[in-house]
Amino acid sequence: MRWWAISAAAAGGALGSKMLYWLETPALTLAKWNDWAYMLGGKTVVGGLLGGLIAVELTKELVGESRSTGDLFALPLAAGIAIGRVGCFLTGLSDQTFGLPTRLPWGIDFGDGIRRHPAQLYEILFLVALIALLTWLQPKLPQSGDLFKLFMILYLAWRLCIDFLKPAAQFAGLGSIQWACVLGLLYYGRDAVRIAHDVMLPFARMPQTKVSED
């Protein structure tokens, strides 16, 4: 089943990453629909994650598998995305993952004389913190599959927020990647509430130290 899941994730991730990339700039995609270098050149992490998720869930439904298969991939995915962002940062302007112009002292000039938010570095720092958090929480999560779900919830929430610092075509105030994040978060809504309850419950049950009145 793991090999079925890996195969489905690879195929769905590849397709999802391309489709969301095309939706990032619809006008440009329509103008270059016959430019194979453009159509095959870009991809998005969020599209890959959601496309892989959909493909795996459909595959499990077809083969009658109900067990969760995602926990094995949560930490490797976080580490892989972080390593990938190093490449995005080193690529510079052509990668299109930089942030908006800024006057903050840590703004970086990627070669055109404009200091921008180093959004790639922000994401690397977030992912390092996320790996530490997931590692700490893993033994506290009661259900199989919760580690992967928590990774998806926190990463999608992060991208929903950080993409406000990136230039992108918007619809109703959000870019296409942000709308995909919203849909993903809605899909995991019940799980987010349950996991938050399961994680916080042990802390709520900790004995309270009584203060002496003497």
190-214: pLDDT as tens digits: 999 999 988 877 665 555 555 555 4
Structure token pair of residue 116: 């921008």
pLDDT at position 35 is 77
Beta bridge mates, 171: 174
3-state secondary structure of 112: coil
- Residues with Cβ within 8 Å of 124's Cβ and at least 6 positions away in sequence, in order, are 82, 85, 86, 89
- Number of neighbouring beta carbons within 10 Å of residue 108: 18
What is residue 60's predicted lDDT score, i.e. its pLDDT?
84
- Does the predicted TM-score (pTM) go above 0.85? yes
The CB-side HSE value for 86 (13 A sphere, CA atoms) comes to 7
Beta-strand pair 108-109/174-175: unpaired
pLDDT score at 24 = 78
Say how far apart CA 34 and CA 28 lie, in whole Å: 11
Residues in the chain: 214
Half-sphere exposure of 164 (CA within 13 A, CB side): 6
List the Cα angle 75/176/134 in 5-degree steps.
15
List pLDDT tens digits, range 96-121.
Answer: 889 999 999 999 999 999 999 999 99
List, for the chain, all residue ranges whose pLDDT scores fall below the cut of 70: 38, 202-214
